[in-house]
């Protein structure tokens, strides 16, 4: 029963936000509902993605991931269509429903026993070996993909350099740079969350792509 009450309350929150977006349009209600939404759904997303972390980190990284997802998908929608009430409502509903579905599956996996007690030791050893192999393989893939994305971002910045006075660097930097930079940042975040990782050495080079924007002469601070 608690599970259905939780889903019902989540849907009430989603419905209230949709009503405020399309009809009520109250700034105070939007602020309160938005804070509740990012706290609750951010924590739910953190439990899904960052299972190995404690509750505090699940909340923080979950909220950051939720904001990043809205920013990334919203940029795609804006690039190919536009951000109006309909597109924002559809994007909001889709992300919320996906989080609810995965959160519900996560709760079911915790409640239902899959194996008998005598099978647990063998299954546990098998999963430990598979987990070790998967962790090493995923770290290698993330590092390689990060280096490729980072090199691509640096190449774009260098090729877009100009000596002309421009109001903003985004006049010459293509929108694809934001997507590449977002994916590189996401890769770096995933690497930092892995135990015994050496990816802290990648943080300083990653900041270089931000600093390279400065050679573009602008009449005010571009960022």
- CA angle 164/167/216 to nearest 5° reads 50
Given a cut of 50, whether residue 223 has pLDDT beyond it is no
Given a cut of 60, whether residue 1 has pLDDT beyond it is no
173 vs 178: CA distance, rounded Å: 9
Q: Is 112 left (phi over 0), alpha (psi -120 to 50) or beta?
A: beta
Domains of the chain by residue range: 2-111, 117-211
**Would you say 87 and 77 are in contact if contact means Cβ atoms under 8 Å apart?**
yes
The larger pLDDT score, comparing residue 187 to residue 98, is at 98
Tell me what pLDDT residue 35 has: 93
Encoding tokens for residue 207?
């900041």
What are the residues whose beta carbons fall under 8 Å from the beta carbon of 158, sequence distance 6 or more?
212
Surface-to-core class of residue 122, CB atoms within 10 Å of its CB (0-12 exposed, 13-18 middle, 19+ buried): exposed
Average pLDDT value over all residues in the chain: 77
Most confident of 65-79, 85-99, 128-142, 209-223: 85-99
| Confidence grade of residue 168 (pLDDT, cut at 50, 70, 90) | confident
190 vs 179: CA distance, rounded Å: 17
Given a cut of 50, whether residue 195 has pLDDT beyond it is yes
Tell me what pLDDT residue 33 has: 92
How far apart, in Å, are the Cα atoms of 177 and each of 76, 155, 190, 222? 13, 10, 20, 15
User: What global pTM score does this model have?
Assistant: 0.57
| Confidence grade of residue 154 (pLDDT, cut at 50, 70, 90) | confident
Mean pLDDT of 57-71: 87
Tell me what pLDDT residue 220 has: 39
Given a cut of 80, whether residue 201 has pLDDT beyond it is no
* Strands (DSSP E) found in 23-171: none
């Amino acid at each position: 029963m608690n599970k259905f009450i939780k889903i019902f309350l989540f849907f009430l929150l989603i419905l209230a936000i949709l009503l405020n977006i399309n009809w009520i349009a109250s700034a105070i209600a939007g602020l309160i509902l938005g804070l509740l939404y990012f706290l609750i759904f951010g924590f739910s997303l953190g439990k899904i993605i960052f299972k190995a972390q404690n509750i505090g980190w699940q909340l923080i990284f979950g909220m950051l991931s939720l904001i990043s997802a809205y920013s990334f998908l919203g940029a795609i929608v804006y690039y190919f269509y536009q951000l109006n009430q309909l597109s924002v409502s559809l994007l909001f509903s889709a992300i919320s429903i996906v989080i609810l579905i995965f959160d519900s599956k996560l709760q079911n996996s915790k409640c239902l026993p899959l194996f008998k007690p005598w099978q647990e030791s063998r299954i546990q050893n098998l999963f430990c070996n598979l987990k070790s192999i998967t962790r090493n393989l995923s770290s290698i893939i993330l590092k390689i993909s990060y280096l490729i994305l980072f090199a691509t971002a640096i190449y774009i910045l260098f090729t877009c350099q100009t000596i002309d006075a421009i109001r903003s660097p985004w006049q010459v930097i293509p929108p694809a740079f934001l997507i590449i930079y977002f994916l590189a940042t996401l890769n770096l975040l995933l690497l930092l969350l892995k135990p015994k990782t050496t990816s802290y050495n990648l943080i300083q080079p990653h900041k270089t792509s931000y600093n390279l924007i400065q050679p573009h002469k602008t009449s005010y601070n571009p960022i």
